[in-house]
Amino acid sequence: MAFAYYKVIPVPLDAAGSRDFAYLGDFLLFQDARRSDGSQELDAAINVKIGRDGVDYARWRLNNKLRGRFDSFTLQWEAQAGVTAYIYVAAGDGATLLDLDSQPPKQIITTALGSQISTAAVTVTTSVTLLAAADSTRQSAIIQNNGSGDIYVGGIGVTTSSGVKVEAGTSITLDKTTAAIYAIAASGNQNTRILTEAS
Protein backbone atom coordinates (compact mmCIF):
# COMPACT_ATOMS: atom_id res chain seq x y z
CA MET A 1 0.00 0.00 0.00
CA ALA A 2 1.39 3.43 -0.94
CA PHE A 3 2.05 5.78 1.93
CA ALA A 4 3.71 9.09 2.60
CA TYR A 5 3.94 11.51 5.47
CA TYR A 6 5.88 14.59 6.42
CA LYS A 7 6.39 16.74 9.49
CA VAL A 8 8.05 20.10 10.12
CA ILE A 9 9.76 20.17 13.51
CA PRO A 10 10.56 23.52 15.17
CA VAL A 11 13.78 23.36 17.23
CA PRO A 12 14.51 26.40 19.46
CA LEU A 13 18.26 27.10 19.47
CA ASP A 14 18.31 29.67 22.32
CA ALA A 15 20.43 27.46 24.57
CA ALA A 16 23.03 24.89 23.56
CA GLY A 17 21.63 21.40 23.53
CA SER A 18 20.78 18.20 21.69
CA ARG A 19 17.64 16.22 20.98
CA ASP A 20 16.93 12.68 19.77
CA PHE A 21 14.12 12.02 17.28
CA ALA A 22 12.63 8.54 16.72
CA TYR A 23 11.23 8.97 13.21
CA LEU A 24 11.27 6.45 10.39
CA GLY A 25 12.06 8.54 7.35
CA ASP A 26 13.62 8.81 3.91
CA PHE A 27 14.28 12.55 3.61
CA LEU A 28 15.58 15.16 6.06
CA LEU A 29 16.00 18.88 5.32
CA PHE A 30 17.19 21.92 7.32
CA GLN A 31 14.31 23.90 5.83
CA ASP A 32 14.48 27.27 7.57
CA ALA A 33 15.74 29.28 10.54
CA ARG A 34 13.92 32.31 11.90
CA ARG A 35 14.73 34.96 14.48
CA SER A 36 12.11 35.92 17.08
CA ASP A 37 11.10 38.91 14.90
CA GLY A 38 10.28 36.54 12.00
CA SER A 39 13.29 37.40 9.83
CA GLN A 40 15.40 34.62 8.34
CA GLU A 41 18.70 33.74 10.05
CA LEU A 42 21.10 32.83 7.23
CA ASP A 43 24.00 31.88 9.53
CA ALA A 44 22.09 29.30 11.61
CA ALA A 45 23.89 25.97 11.99
CA ILE A 46 23.17 22.62 13.63
CA ASN A 47 24.84 19.23 13.74
CA VAL A 48 23.02 16.05 12.71
CA LYS A 49 23.74 12.38 13.40
CA ILE A 50 21.74 9.65 11.66
CA GLY A 51 20.67 6.40 13.35
CA ARG A 52 20.97 5.05 16.85
CA ASP A 53 24.52 3.81 16.29
CA GLY A 54 25.80 6.88 14.41
CA VAL A 55 29.12 8.08 15.72
CA ASP A 56 29.91 11.31 13.89
CA TYR A 57 27.90 14.49 13.57
CA ALA A 58 27.70 16.33 10.25
CA ARG A 59 27.53 20.14 10.21
CA TRP A 60 24.31 21.44 8.64
CA ARG A 61 23.31 24.85 7.32
CA LEU A 62 20.14 26.08 5.64
CA ASN A 63 18.87 23.84 2.82
CA ASN A 64 21.26 20.97 3.58
CA LYS A 65 19.39 17.71 3.01
CA LEU A 66 19.74 13.97 3.43
CA ARG A 67 18.05 11.25 1.37
CA GLY A 68 18.01 7.61 2.46
CA ARG A 69 16.19 5.40 4.96
CA PHE A 70 16.74 6.13 8.66
CA ASP A 71 14.92 5.19 11.86
CA SER A 72 16.14 8.01 14.05
CA PHE A 73 18.34 11.09 14.10
CA THR A 74 19.94 13.38 16.65
CA LEU A 75 20.35 17.14 16.42
CA GLN A 76 22.97 19.06 18.39
CA TRP A 77 23.55 22.83 18.43
CA GLU A 78 25.37 25.71 20.04
CA ALA A 79 23.36 28.59 21.58
CA GLN A 80 21.92 30.91 18.91
CA ALA A 81 19.87 33.51 20.77
CA GLY A 82 16.35 34.09 19.50
CA VAL A 83 16.67 31.57 16.64
CA THR A 84 14.38 28.62 15.85
CA ALA A 85 15.40 25.99 13.28
CA TYR A 86 12.75 24.18 11.22
CA ILE A 87 13.56 20.61 10.26
CA TYR A 88 11.49 18.85 7.58
CA VAL A 89 11.29 15.06 7.80
CA ALA A 90 9.42 12.89 5.29
CA ALA A 91 8.87 9.22 4.57
CA GLY A 92 7.37 7.37 1.65
CA ASP A 93 7.57 4.30 -0.52
CA GLY A 94 9.58 5.96 -3.29
CA ALA A 95 6.65 6.71 -5.58
CA THR A 96 4.89 8.80 -2.95
CA LEU A 97 7.86 10.33 -1.10
CA LEU A 98 7.29 14.01 -0.38
CA ASP A 99 10.60 15.59 -1.41
CA LEU A 100 10.42 19.28 -0.54
CA ASP A 101 12.63 21.72 -2.41
CA SER A 102 13.01 24.73 -0.17
CA GLN A 103 13.89 28.12 -1.62
CA PRO A 104 17.61 28.86 -1.37
CA PRO A 105 18.68 31.35 1.29
CA LYS A 106 18.53 34.96 0.18
CA GLN A 107 21.54 36.23 -1.72
CA ILE A 108 23.77 38.47 0.39
CA ILE A 109 24.59 41.75 -1.34
CA THR A 110 28.20 42.83 -1.05
CA THR A 111 29.25 46.32 -0.02
CA ALA A 112 32.11 46.52 -2.53
CA LEU A 113 32.31 49.74 -4.52
CA GLY A 114 33.19 48.29 -7.90
CA SER A 115 33.13 50.46 -10.98
CA GLN A 116 33.02 47.62 -13.56
CA ILE A 117 30.66 44.68 -13.91
CA SER A 118 31.36 41.83 -16.32
CA THR A 119 29.23 38.79 -17.12
CA ALA A 120 30.00 35.55 -18.92
CA ALA A 121 28.34 32.24 -19.76
CA VAL A 122 30.59 29.22 -19.25
CA THR A 123 29.91 25.54 -19.89
CA VAL A 124 31.28 23.57 -16.95
CA THR A 125 32.25 20.00 -17.88
CA THR A 126 33.59 16.99 -16.00
CA SER A 127 37.07 18.43 -16.53
CA VAL A 128 38.28 21.41 -14.48
CA THR A 129 36.88 24.52 -16.20
CA LEU A 130 38.06 28.13 -15.75
CA LEU A 131 35.20 30.42 -14.70
CA ALA A 132 37.20 33.61 -14.14
CA ALA A 133 40.90 34.39 -14.47
CA ALA A 134 42.83 35.91 -11.58
CA ASP A 135 42.12 39.65 -11.35
CA SER A 136 43.78 41.95 -8.78
CA THR A 137 40.93 44.48 -9.17
CA ARG A 138 38.05 42.02 -8.63
CA GLN A 139 35.95 42.66 -5.54
CA SER A 140 33.29 39.98 -5.86
CA ALA A 141 31.99 37.22 -8.10
CA ILE A 142 28.53 35.65 -8.31
CA ILE A 143 28.42 32.14 -9.77
CA GLN A 144 24.99 30.90 -10.89
CA ASN A 145 24.41 27.28 -11.87
CA ASN A 146 21.83 27.32 -14.68
CA GLY A 147 22.42 23.68 -15.51
CA SER A 148 20.46 20.58 -14.54
CA GLY A 149 23.25 19.04 -12.43
CA ASP A 150 25.54 20.11 -9.60
CA ILE A 151 28.87 21.87 -10.05
CA TYR A 152 31.76 22.24 -7.60
CA VAL A 153 33.73 25.49 -7.29
CA GLY A 154 37.32 25.99 -6.13
CA GLY A 155 40.89 26.51 -7.26
CA ILE A 156 42.74 24.93 -10.18
CA GLY A 157 42.80 21.54 -8.47
CA VAL A 158 39.07 21.45 -7.68
CA THR A 159 37.33 18.05 -7.69
CA THR A 160 33.79 16.91 -6.94
CA SER A 161 35.15 15.76 -3.56
CA SER A 162 36.94 18.98 -2.60
CA GLY A 163 34.97 21.81 -4.24
CA VAL A 164 32.10 23.86 -2.84
CA LYS A 165 28.87 22.38 -4.19
CA VAL A 166 26.55 24.69 -6.13
CA GLU A 167 23.32 22.84 -6.80
CA ALA A 168 21.39 23.30 -10.04
CA GLY A 169 19.34 26.50 -9.95
CA THR A 170 21.31 28.10 -7.11
CA SER A 171 24.17 30.57 -6.86
CA ILE A 172 27.01 31.57 -4.55
CA THR A 173 28.88 34.82 -4.01
CA LEU A 174 32.65 34.98 -3.54
CA ASP A 175 33.53 38.25 -1.86
CA LYS A 176 36.97 39.89 -2.06
CA THR A 177 38.70 37.09 -3.96
CA THR A 178 41.19 38.00 -6.67
CA ALA A 179 42.25 34.39 -7.37
CA ALA A 180 41.33 32.43 -10.48
CA ILE A 181 38.02 30.59 -10.02
CA TYR A 182 37.46 27.09 -11.42
CA ALA A 183 34.60 24.59 -11.41
CA ILE A 184 33.92 20.98 -12.32
CA ALA A 185 30.60 19.25 -13.06
CA ALA A 186 29.50 16.04 -11.40
CA SER A 187 28.17 14.92 -14.80
CA GLY A 188 27.37 16.29 -18.24
CA ASN A 189 27.81 19.87 -19.40
CA GLN A 190 26.37 22.49 -17.04
CA ASN A 191 25.43 25.99 -18.17
CA THR A 192 26.95 28.41 -15.65
CA ARG A 193 26.85 32.20 -15.43
CA ILE A 194 29.39 34.39 -13.65
CA LEU A 195 29.09 38.06 -12.78
CA THR A 196 32.21 39.83 -11.52
CA GLU A 197 32.58 43.26 -9.93
CA ALA A 198 35.91 45.06 -10.16
CA SER A 199 37.33 48.47 -9.41
Same fold, 4-92 and 116-198: yes
DSSP result, the chain:
---EEEEEEEEE-SS-EEEEE---EEEEEEEEEEETTS-B-TT-EEEEEESTT----EEEETT-EEEEEES-EEEEE---TTEEEEEEEEEE-SSS-----PPPPPPPPP----SEEEEEEEEE-SS-EEEE---TTEEEEEEEE-SSS-EEEESTT--TTTSEEE-TT-EEEEES--S-EEEEESSS-EEEEEEEEE-
- Domain 4-92, CATH among 3.30.230.10, 2.60.120.10, 1.10.600.10, 3.30.110.30: 2.60.120.10
pTM value?
0.49
Q: What is the mean pLDDT of residues 171-195?
A: 92
> CA–CA separation, 126 vs 183, rounded Å?
9
Domain ranges of the chain: 4-92, 116-198
CATH 2.60.120.770 fits 116-198, yes or no: yes
Q: Which of 8-12, 26-30, 82-86 has the lowest mean pLDDT?
A: 26-30
Q: What is the mean pLDDT of residues 157-183?
A: 91
Share of the chain above pLDDT 90, in %: 45
- What is the pLDDT at residue 184? 96
- What is the pLDDT at residue 96? 45
Highest mean pLDDT pick, 16-30, 41-55, 124-138: 124-138
Query: How far is residue 87 from each of residues 62, 177, 196, measured CA to CA in Å?
Result: 10, 33, 35
- The per-residue pLDDT of the chain, averaged, comes to 84
- What is the pLDDT at residue 83? 94
- What is the pLDDT at residue 158? 95
